[in-house]
Chain A
């Protein structure tokens, strides 16, 4: 079974500081990994995905994620956080054989001015 874990319920950073949201995965075979962001009472917005290729994936709104096979991690990063980045972030994994997504528990990011 495919699964992801987000070890932090909350991440708090000051505006302008680097932001990291952690995710580890457990899969059989090659992982298909995703990051989504959710604003209050909204659906999910796609940020980026890793299927294959370069370990550093660049996505929307200045976010990037690094795939680390040895540590089975896929941490989301942003060099300089904005107050508007405050939201709920989900890591997800997809079974390569179908398109079902399994989501992590989510991490609430708060960026203070």
Chain B
């Protein structure tokens, strides 16, 4: 149990375009979902926290207009990188939790912006 999936696992897009990443909790309803960013050989940095039906809370320094987060249901959150640039290339990881339990992490999405 407690499986979190991400789609796509890898995506390549051209500079200036937008790309959407999905995060799903497959066998539980997630109270909260988190989005992290990880640069090569570096730690995870929390980007934002989202609760179903409400606006995401972004960490300091994260541009909310560039990284759009939608948490439309208890099992799905999406991260849209708008007007992507090469410096947005990174590994994006989501996690989900249900009340009373810790975070379960997705397998990650490798974004490459050319």
Q: Which residues of A contact B (CB under 8 A)?
A: 34, 36, 41-46, 49, 88, 90, 94, 99-106, 108
Contact = CB atoms under 8 A, between A and B. Distances in A.
Contacts of A104: 43
A43 B42 contact: no
30 contacts: A36-B105, A41-B108, A41-B110, A43-B4, A43-B6, A43-B93, A43-B95, A43-B105, A43-B106, A43-B108, A44-B93, A44-B95, A44-B105, A46-B104, A46-B105, A90-B43, A90-B44, A99-B32, A99-B97, A99-B103, A100-B34, A100-B46, A101-B34, A101-B46, A102-B46, A103-B43, A105-B42, A106-B41, A106-B42, A108-B41
Interface majority SS (helix, strand, loop, mixed), chain B? strand
Interface in B93-114: 93, 95, 97, 102-108, 110
A54 B68 CA distance: 42
B75 interface: no
B49 interface: yes
A88 B106 CA distance: 16
B102 A103 contact: no
B62 to A, nearest CB: 13
Most chain A CB within a 10 A radius of its CB, from B6, B34, B44, B97: B44
Nearest to A4: B43
A23 B104 CA distance: 21
B43 A105 contact: yes
A42 B5 CA distance: 11
Greatest chain B CB density within 10 A among A46, A99, A103 is at A99
Contact of A44 (B44, B46, B97, B110): B44
A42 B49 CA distance: 21
A46 B105 CA distance: 8
Contacts of B43: 90, 103-106
